[in-house]
Chain A
Amino acid sequence: GQQLNQSPQSMFIQEGEDVSMNCTSSSIFNTWLWYKQDPGEGPVLLIALYKAGELTSNGRLTAQFGITRKDSFLNISASIPSDVGIYFCAGFDGGYQKVTFGTGTKLQVIP
């Protein structure tokens, strides 16, 4: 079945550092979404992207919708301890209202 591949799978960073992660798909999506999952909870939407090439920010988070529509990128600037969690990309198929998630990037921040 279709799944989105995220890299890196996990990362340890020092507090204050910037973080980059990406997501690739074999299929085209017209909507890309980025979610964060805190330990013991369900994922929560961070950013939504609707146009190829689009760059969208939410505070210290910036995400980009790849030109090919088969990839997306998430950057976190000046990381803080509460950034710890698992970050998921997701592609949305509006025709069937299906959301396909990525394999996740686990982020750990060292104070």
Chain B
Amino acid sequence: DAGITQSPRHKVTETGTPVTLRCHQTENHRYMYWYRQDPGHGLRLIHYSYGVKDTDKGEVSDGYSVSRSKTEDFLLTLESATSSQTSVYFCAIGDSNSRFYGELFFGEGSRLTVL
């Protein structure tokens, strides 16, 4: 168990409203990631973090911002949600102690519906 908790697990919101998804980890891992999963597109990286206040963009970062003020929390914010952001969002952590270099551990996902 990698100790990753995502919240909320399900959310329905309206176009134009702000939304924040939270990823919480209990084991002080340095690397954290946000992906979105859509049929036909697989998993696409939105943003990732390599330490407190150190973040970088992924391949589909437009419309999203992130913050990491504490090691254990990585927040994903949709400033003004659009229907194209309806998706399942996964948080992942990179464990430097993993048996396998490059292995990520995933949370259970947050399903977001924007009406």
Residues of A within 8 A of B (CB): 1-4, 6, 9, 31, 33, 40-45, 48, 50, 88, 90, 92, 94, 96-104
Contact = CB atoms under 8 A, between A and B. Distances in A.
30 contacts: A1-B44, A1-B58, A1-B59, A1-B60, A3-B41, A3-B42, A6-B42, A9-B40, A33-B102, A40-B108, A42-B90, A42-B92, A42-B105, A44-B106, A48-B101, A48-B103, A50-B101, A88-B42, A92-B101, A94-B102, A97-B48, A98-B45, A99-B33, A99-B45, A100-B59, A101-B42, A101-B43, A101-B44, A103-B42, A104-B42
Interface residues of B, number: 28
Given A3-B41, A88-B43, A48 B106 contact: no
B80 to A, nearest CB: 22
B48 A31 contact: no
A3 B44 contact: yes
Nearest to A42: B106
B101 A102 contact: no
Contacts, number: 76
A23 B107 CA distance: 24
A69 to B, nearest CB: 14
Nearest to B41: A103
Nearest to A89: B42
Given A42-B92, A43-B104, A97-B48, 9 more contacts: A3-B42, A40-B108, A41-B106, A42-B105, A99-B45, A99-B102, A101-B42, A101-B44, A103-B40
Q: Which 7 A-B residue pairings sit nearest by Cβ, starting from the closest?
A: A1-B59, A42-B106, A92-B102, A101-B43, A103-B42, A48-B100, A104-B42
A48 B102 contact: yes
Interface in B67-115: 90, 92, 94, 100-109
A20 B44 CA distance: 23
Given A1-B44, A96-B56, A97-B50, A45 B94 contact: no
B34 interface: no
A78 B46 CA distance: 37
Contacts of A31: 101-102
